[in-house]
Amino acid sequence: MSKIIRDKGEKLSKIEYWKKWEIFELFDDLHEAEQLLNSRKSKGYRHDKFKTEFTEEFGEIEGDNVADFTRIWQWFSPNNEWDKVVGPEGEELRRRIFKRTDRWKRNQEFIPWTKVSLKEEFGIVLDKTVDNNVVGLIRWDTEKETDVEDWRGLFGSFLQSGGQVVDHDHKFKFIDDKGELKKVSR
């Protein structure tokens, strides 16, 4: 794939795409993670299994034209497989890898608790519920008791309409990070 579609229909070259998502830096960090795993003595089955799976997955995504970093994202999320196998020694490396893969992942599909914007409004993607097993309901940051818009299954359309994933540090005015109205102090 030589061109990737930009937000407004323009196309990014593969190099521009890699720069935008810091893929070069991610691969550097993944090589460092591989070296760290290889330098450690076996600490049992969990270590050996993770090392084998990581090495195979990394080899596959290195050769992919359009890589899917979902397993890397899962392994390097806080308190997940990387932390259990490597521990504090690999914490800073885990943070860097997770930050890059999390940003990439949240721009591929709706992920619960992702902060988004559309037409100068901000909101949060709600999690699945018993009645709703598909992610994509967005709670907008308004004073209304319920201001939810249904974008389930329409992530591409959301982006094409000008929707964006915003920084997770964005502060809402009326809702909290779980989409609930903030309590009004009197």
Delimit the domains of the chain by residue range: 3-106, 109-186
pLDDT at 186: 53
Q: Which residue has the tokens 């779980």?
A: 178
Q: β-strands 148-150, 164-165: how paired?
A: unpaired
The rounded distance, in Å, linking the Cα atoms of 150 and 135 is: 9
Tens of pLDDT, residues 61-88: 988 766 889 999 999 999 999 999 999 9
Q: What is the pLDDT of residue 185?
A: 62
Strands (E), 8-105: 11-13
DSSP class of residue 181 equals B
Output the CA angle 78-62-72, nearest 5 degrees: 15
Spell out the residues 6+ positions from residue 6 whose beta carbon is closer than 8 angstroms to its own: 12
